[in-house]
């Protein structure tokens, strides 16, 4: 039994207080299975943000069934809930609840639903009525308080260092997490810039009950992403990410030719929905085809601290082992 067992472990029935971040519109099915089987919480991501709601529902069902079949332990499902994709988000939640209701095995495995990039208020009661825990990603104390007021079970406090969607008014993780933990009573999970034992210990010291990691899990053998994408993360330095305009707010990505051209030309005259479609295509180029120059590669600042591709089990167990050493040494 790990010495680092927190309230998050009890809530989710997991061995280690680590959540794999969702990375929509990429598929993270194989990654979610590996994380779940290694004792942390794997998360199913939405696949494409511009899908027709019914298509999104069908794909969600396919993803759930894959992870259910291969995962030994618990996992979660995620969807952004911004207004632009609200119909799709509603359908994904409906399908998840319906499938879970008719499958006793799934009821035991699928513990939580994670929402992000929108208002959680519309979804908490529906998820609770279905027996699911509701976690929501918040980039500020204001949004964390709003999440608690909505009745959510936990806040994932995500700092500006995070890869993918971030916030237009940046607050960095080591400023954000302690303030959120002091401001609300529900559990807080720290996100944005975590990849190692030092990060986990700092999050616990800041009042969090665990960490969420995305970029660190990209650079793993089991991750669904193209090998060239994984290699790009490992090769990245501390200055190699940049924040660009996104569909659901700004997004942090690795700098490449696509981003340099985008910064020069901008997206003037392009509707938000058309921009969303273009973004989906660029993201899939990177994830599926390994086109690391004309594809978009979301990644956090922490890419500069990731130097090798390991198995998910190796990543998690090394973090816990080294964190236990740090905590032991700190008992002066």
138 CB neighbour count, 10 Å cutoff:
26
* Helix and strand totals (H; E) in the chain: 14, 11
CA 328 and chain centroid, separation = 30
Domains and CATH numbers, the chain: 7-225+307-327 (3.20.20.70), 227-289 (no CATH)
User: Residue 303 carries which DSSP code?
Assistant: G
Check residue 311 and give its pLDDT. 98
Query: With a cut of 50, which residues of the chain have pLDDT below it?
Result: 273
The 3-state DSSP class for residue 242 equals: strand
- The helix (H) or strand (E) run that includes residue 115 is strand 110-116
Check residue 83 and give its pLDDT. 81
- pTM, entire model: 0.92
Give me the helices (H) in the chain, please. 7-12, 29-37, 53-70, 86-101, 104-109, 124-129, 141-150, 173-183, 197-205, 215-218, 227-235, 257-265, 272-289, 312-330
């Amino acid at each position: 039994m790990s010495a680092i067992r927190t309230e998050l472990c009890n809530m989710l029935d997991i061995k280690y207080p680590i959540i794999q971040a969702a990375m929509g519109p990429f598929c993270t099915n194989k990654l979610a299975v590996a994380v779940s089987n290694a004792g942390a919480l794997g998360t199913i991501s939405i696949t494409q943000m511009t899908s027709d709601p019914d298509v999104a529902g069908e794909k969600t069902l396919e993803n759930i069934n894959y992870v259910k079949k291969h995962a030994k332990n618990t996992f979660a499902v995620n969807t952004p809930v911004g207004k632009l994709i609200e119909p799709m988000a509603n359908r994904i939640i409906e399908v998840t609840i319906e499938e879970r209701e008719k499958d006793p095995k799934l009821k035991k495995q699928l513990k939580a639903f994670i929402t992000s990039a929108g208002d959680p208020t519309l979804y908490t009661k529906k998820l609770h009525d279905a027996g699911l825990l509701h976690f929501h990603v918040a980039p500020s104390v204001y949004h964390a308080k709003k999440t608690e007021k909505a009745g959510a079970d936990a806040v994932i406090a995500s700092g500006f260092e995070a890869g993918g969607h971030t916030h237009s008014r940046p607050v960095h993780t080591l400023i954000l997490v302690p303030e959120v933990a002091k401001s609300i009573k529900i559990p807080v999970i720290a996100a944005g810039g975590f990849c190692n034992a030092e990060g986990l210990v700092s999050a616990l010291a800041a009042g969090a009950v665990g960490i969420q990691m995305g970029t660190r899990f990209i650079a793993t053998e089991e991750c669904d992403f193209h090998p060239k994408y994984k290699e790009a993360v490992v090769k990245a330095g501390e200055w190699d990410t940049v924040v660009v305009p996104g569909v659901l707010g700004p997004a942090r990505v690795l700098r490449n030719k696509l981003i340099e051209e985008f910064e020069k030309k901008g997206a003037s005259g392009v509707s938000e929905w058309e921009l969303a479609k273009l973004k989906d295509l660029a993201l899939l180029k990177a994830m599926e085809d390994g086109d690391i120059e004309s594809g978009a590669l979301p990644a956090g600042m922490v890419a500069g601290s990731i130097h090798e591709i390991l198995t998910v089990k190796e990543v998690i167990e090394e973090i816990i082992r080294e964190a236990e050493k740090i905590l032991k040494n700190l008992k002066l």
